Amino acid sequence: MPSIPLRLLIWTLFLCLVSCDQQVQQVLTSDHPETKNGFLRRFSVESAVKEVLTAAQEHDLDVWHATSTFVDIYSPPDEPFLPNELASIPHTTTLVLTTTPKPLRSNTEWDLSSLTNTSFHDAYHPLDEVEAFLNQLVLTYPNITRLENLGHSAEGREMVGLTISSGPAVVDKKSKKKKPRTPRDIEKLGFVIVGAQHAREWIATSTSLFLAHAIAANKSEAHSLAHLLKHFDFHIVPTPNPDGYDYTWTTDRFWYKNRQPVGPYSKCVGLDMNRNSGYKWKAEPVDRDLKEKDKGQRDTKPRTPVNPCSHWYPGTRPFESPEVNNIANWVANLPNVVGFLDLRSYGQMLSSPYSYKCKRLPKDAEDQIEAALGAANALTSVHGTSFQTGSLCSMLYPAPGNILDWMYAREAIKYSYVAHLRDTGTYGFSLPERWIRPTGEETSGLIDYLSRFIAVHAKSV
């Protein structure tokens, strides 16, 4: 038997080590003895992106992320095979662990007196621990925080919003502004932050909790945002989809929608909360949105039936989701809101309106993009993470009924954005816990810049 050259042995060992390292990076570590793997495919043929998206919709596949250059499609362990039209398109396949991690601790008490030293932001947390964190945050910072009931979810869980405020605005008697001021002029500015509407986007929930802690924490701490309370009141909904989020911990790690019944005889459950807001909502299959329409041709009738089993099912009417309705009602009654941020994952993008149509730009597009570019640079300066900017539709696909468009067009929140957090697909929705704190820290940089920009342009400083 001929001997194998030493160089070949070394090269083979190197490839094995690289392959093993890449496989570890794709999954969320777990202590569960029994594991099942899903399959994440990336289609990187730019000319085939529209074809891939259309086929994915027709076969009700789970699209994790899509850009103008690639599409990520996930298949659960019990449905590992692709349709023939997709199987023939070049793609890569990664195994994804579907089990959930065990909570780090059995009790629900953490030291929240310090943002830097607490262990809370070192792990993902199930719904009961998220609620315990919010209650403990209010106990730790009672003078500036309060919880508000927004209403109930489809399964009857209470939805809560967290308001962080240092009190009424302090009027500078030396200000050169002309008097008298209107009540709105001397009100603080409002900023709304919403966590994961899509249940599986755990990093969005964890980041919303980190931001809440950063806003309340002492100004002397690194990454504290307490200085912004001089001009802003912050309103945060960490778990806008409590039923779905809980379901990702107990049953299906990659569940997407909420958990409301969609019909008396339907075998499927839930609708896409981020397609159920009232601005430009339509009960239309997503594949019609993805296909370019002929010039001068106008589609007014939806194709039937609209599939309630689809991941992107928008419901039968706007605000059919009680969670979406609760958030809209709450925000409508908040004073002087000038900033809105919807936290999502993944993709590393900061997006402005619109979502429903790519060819239409808002009248405030120039200011929105200017603020977004500065905020993205501020985020990058923290840990080097790069973010793209642009309209949400142009960077993903048309999605009517999005909360972004509602907040901008109907609530008149000029600086409305969606932030798709880490990463760009290496881990996808299974971002390892060691990246929770860095993601929170860099998002704090984004919030800091965006708030300062808004304050200056609102002439509040």
Give per-residue pLDDT as tens, 311-353.
999 999 999 999 999 999 999 999 999 999 999 999 999 999 9
Same domain assignment for residues 200 and 93: no
Same domain assignment for residues 433 and 339: yes
Rama region for 60: left / alpha / beta (φ>0; ψ in -120 to 50; rest):
left
Q: What domain range includes position 87?
A: 37-97
Instruction: Please tell me the distance from the alpha carbon of residue 220 to that of residue 226, in angstroms, as a whole number.
Output: 9
| Residue 147 covered by a domain | yes
Question: What is the token pair recorded at 10?
Answer: 């070394």
Instruction: Please tell me the distance from the alpha carbon of residue 438 to that of residue 222, in angstroms, as a whole number.
Output: 12
| In the predicted structure, residue 206 carries a pLDDT above the cut 90 | yes
Same domain assignment for residues 383 and 427: yes
| Residue 210 covered by a domain | yes
| Residue 330 neighbours by CB under 8 Å, 6+ apart | 148, 150, 161, 235, 237
Tell me the pLDDT band of 9, cut-offs 50, 70 and 90.
very low
Same domain assignment for residues 346 and 201: yes
| In the predicted structure, residue 52 carries a pLDDT above the cut 80 | yes
Task: Give 70-119 pLDDT, tens digit per residue.
Answer: 999 999 999 999 999 999 999 999 999 898 877 655 556 899 999 999 99
Structural domain count, the chain: 2
At residue 22, the pLDDT reads: 34
Same domain assignment for residues 386 and 424: yes
Q: Highest-confidence range of 31-45, 264-278, 300-314, by mean pLDDT?
A: 264-278
> In this structure, what are the phi and psi dihedrals at residue 134, rounded to the nearest 5 degrees?
-60, -45
Instruction: Please tell me the distance from the alpha carbon of residue 425 to that of residue 347, in angstroms, as a whole number.
Output: 7
Tell me the pLDDT band of 12, cut-offs 50, 70 and 90.
very low
Mean pLDDT of the chain: 87
Are 203 and 353 a contacting pair, CB within 8 Å? no
Question: What is the token pair recorded at 278?
Answer: 């009232």
Task: Give 168-195 pLDDT, tens digit per residue.
Answer: 887 655 555 544 444 455 689 999 999 9
| Residue 280 covered by a domain | no
Are 255 and 206 a contacting pair, CB within 8 Å? no
Last residue of a domain, one of 81, 97, 113: 97
| Residue 333 covered by a domain | yes
Same domain assignment for residues 61 and 156: no
Question: What is the token pair recorded at 19?
Answer: 């392959």
Q: Which of 66, 54, 51, 25 is nearest to 393 (CA)?
A: 66
Per DSSP (E only), the strands in 290-384 are 337-345, 349-352
Beta bridge partners of 97: 37
Same domain assignment for residues 207 and 85: no
Q: Which of 18-27, 37-46, 209-218, 379-388 is the least confident region? A: 18-27
**Amino acid letter for position 399:** A
Q: Which of 45-54, 109-118, 259-268, 279-288 is the least confident region? A: 279-288
| Residue 30 covered by a domain | no
CA quadruple 107, 130, 220, 381: dihedral, nearest 10: 130
Instruction: Please tell me the distance from the alpha carbon of residue 335 to that of residue 460, in angstroms, as a whole number.
Output: 15
Q: Which of 23-32, 270-279, 304-313, 433-442 is the least confident region? A: 23-32
Same domain assignment for residues 320 and 409: yes
| Residue 289 covered by a domain | no
| Residue 390 covered by a domain | yes
Same domain assignment for residues 205 and 93: no
| Residue 122 covered by a domain | no
What are the C-alpha distances in Å from 182 to residues 172, 178, 187, 415? 15, 11, 9, 22
CATH for 346:
3.40.630.10
The pTM score is 0.86
Same domain assignment for residues 64 and 158: no
Same domain assignment for residues 373 and 237: yes
State the residue for tokens 């708030």: 451
Same domain assignment for residues 86 and 209: no
